[in-house]
Amino acid sequence: MQNFNTPKVFISYSWTSESYKQYVVDIANSLRANGVETLFDVWDLFPGEDKYTFMEKIINDPTVSKVLILCDKKYKEKADARNGGVGDETMIITPEIYGHVSQNKFIPVVMERDSNGADYLPAYLKSRMYVDLTKKDGFTELLRAIFEIPQYPKPPIGNQPAFVTAGKKPKVYKCAVCGKPIEYDGLLVKLQKPRGILLHAVSVHKGECDDKLVEFGKREGINTNASMEMSFFDNDEDREAYMNGEFAMSDSEFYIKFFNADGTIKKS
């Protein structure tokens, strides 16, 4: 069974009415039923405790991952007027929001809309993305925001279109002797007739494969001395120019006789 960390959230709201307060309690109960540790004054603030200190402690508690700001008409009015407990909370929350503009700890939650369908968001939250509990799927949206699981997950980045990568994709050079890719030490070798006529250009590993290519040249009467280290080239275009700039394949029978279809040299 997969183990998820339990997020901890705090609910900030306005005690608009007893029925609204019960609605908030129902939301808190549903959050806890869905694996969210939920804090708010009904459960966690007791007689004799200071409301301001309680709120300040919650806001600065690093274990509280989200602060849910439940916005109805009364909350907006009190927050904008800095009135009552909501006003106190607003004065604590506002510096945190403006001081950490990139964070998503504070989530406005629209609980009510006016007759024109406009939300009741306090002025200091107007620019923030919010969760809309007036919608049918609002509670699921809220859970996604708390667990930070978007409805549409970001897909992995795929390959760029061919018209973008054309001519830019690094070429994989294969050794003409052993057939394996050349990743580091490699040579680009021009195979020439004794009089210097270019027959073909091949890539080989330095070392054993290079020695075998020299043996091949001696055996078949082909000059393999015209070579350049692959590391000398800054990019694939220069390598291609070196290999193919003079390429004429003056003797097609040469290729058929000495090379396999995959570009490797035939073994005698």
Residues 97 and 190 in one domain: no
pLDDT at 249: 44
Residues 138 and 41 in one domain: yes
Count up the domains in the chain and report the number.
2
Residues 125 and 192 in one domain: no
Q: Compute the Cα dihedral for 183, 186, 192, 198 and give only its sign.
A: positive
Query: In this prediction, what percent of the chain has a pLDDT beyond 90?
Result: 21
**pLDDT at residue 97 is higher than 90:** no
Mean pLDDT is lowest, of 14-18, 83-87, 96-100, 131-135, for: 96-100
Residue 159 lies in a domain: no
Residues forming a β-bridge with 8: 37
**pLDDT at residue 119 is higher than 80:** yes
Domain boundary among 81, 114, 147: 147
Residue 47 lies in a domain: yes
Residue 229 lies in a domain: yes
Distance CA 25, CA 6 (A): 19
Residue 64 lies in a domain: yes
Residues 100 and 64 in one domain: yes
Query: In this prediction, what percent of the chain has a pLDDT beyond 70?
Result: 81
Distance CA 248, CA 68 (A): 73
Residue 81 lies in a domain: yes
The model's pTM:
0.57
Residues 28 and 68 in one domain: yes
Residue 35 lies in a domain: yes
Residue 46 lies in a domain: yes
Higher model confidence: residue 248 or residue 257?
Answer: 257
Q: What is the rounded average pLDDT for all residues in the chain?
A: 80
Residues 135 and 194 in one domain: no
